[in-house]
A and B are shown apart, each in its own frame.
Chain A
Amino acid sequence: MKIGEQFDAAGAAAIDCIDFLPLVDDLLEIDDEGWDAQVVRHLEECPPCRIFLEQLQDLRRILRAQDDEALPLSDPRIRTLLIQACSTREDDPS
């Protein structure tokens, strides 16, 4: 990260790494087209913060990859619940 250029062309104060790090969780939630210009500029100038953000994006990708397993439809737990659902339906006078 270059140090010294404190303001951008629009006069907004440049952010440093300490300013950037608390914003990372929010950045994960929005498309990069919606990121603030100061954030984009900081990421262009600061490879370590870019890597930090990418590590968190990777972490979330790894965590999301867990959610790919459904029970087989033949699982006895499903059968038990379907039987329960049928008996509930039969008990329902409506």
Chain B
Amino acid sequence: MSAESSDDPGLAGERLLLAEQIASLYPGMLRFARTIVPSALAEDVVQETWIAVLKVANTFEGRSTLRTWIYAVLRNKARQALGREIRRRTVETEEAMDEGSPLAGRLHPPGHPEAGHWSVPPSARFIPEERAVTAELRNKVLEALEKLPQRQRSVVLLRDVEGFSAEEVCDLLDLDPGNQRILLHRGRAKLRAHIECYQFGRGCPDNESGSWL
């Protein structure tokens, strides 16, 4: 560790632990900040968050994990930076804003002899067993994630990239469990459809962009 040497081994160890904590959380915090503020502001928001956390760390009461607490501070800082309080959205609003399901037309309709079953089934899994995740596929998924609607992106990012629980995500984003579930389902569904179209040319949307995003 090159930052700030100290004659006190206890203090030096403490600083090393703090540096490691910052180093491990920083990239994920930047990703989360970018779901709330423009990318140009995200770096400042994360720095401000850490400064605030370091000032008030002794007020952390352990009622959530330290990471969830830090992310809650980050959320507040990002909202302040945005200059307005993000209002809680209802399930109905999200539903009204959402376009068609990527699975539309892939199952036999009512009345068909095989109603309730696939008409255009998924072709194959994305990563054959025992294969590593390729950089190309990873980048494609990351690009797609960036294009999801903001609330879906936040939920998928926190749940599937950062590994927060459903309850923690509800707290961080002021969502009720039902809305969190819908946003996660829709975000994942679009990402899955996008990658299926990219990898196998199947299930691609019939629109100008050729993308579900």
- A contacts, CB < 8 Å to B: 1, 3, 16-19, 21-22, 25, 29, 46-49, 51-52, 54-67, 69-75, 77-86, 88
Contact = CB atoms under 8 A, between A and B. Distances in A.
A71 B121 contact: no
Given A72-B23, A78-B19, A59 B3 contact: no
Contacts, number: 139
Contacts of A59: 126, 141, 160, 188, 191-192, 195
B125 A71 contact: no
11 contacts: A17-B107, A48-B118, A63-B161, A63-B191, A64-B163, A71-B23, A73-B1, A73-B2, A77-B47, A79-B3, A83-B3
Contacts of A64: 160-161, 163
The interface residues of chain A, by DSSP majority, are classed as helix
Interface in B142-164: 142, 145, 156, 160-163
B160 A51 contact: no
A71 B117 contact: no
Contacts of B19: 73, 78, 82
B133 A79 contact: no
B205 interface: no
Interface string B183-213: 0110010011001100000000000000000
Contacts of A80: 47
A78 B51 CA distance: 11
A84 B18 CA distance: 12
B79 interface: no
B122 A55 contact: yes
A63 B127 contact: no
Contact of B20 (A19, A46, A73): A73
Given A74-B2, A74-B3, A62 B103 contact: no
A60 B118 CA distance: 23
A66 B192 contact: no
A61 B196 contact: no
A50 B108 CA distance: 18
A23 B145 CA distance: 22
A84 B4 CA distance: 11
Given A63-B161, A64-B163, A70-B20, 17 more contacts: A17-B116, A17-B117, A18-B117, A21-B103, A48-B121, A51-B121, A51-B125, A52-B121, A57-B125, A62-B126, A67-B28, A67-B162, A71-B22, A73-B3, A73-B16, A81-B47, A82-B3
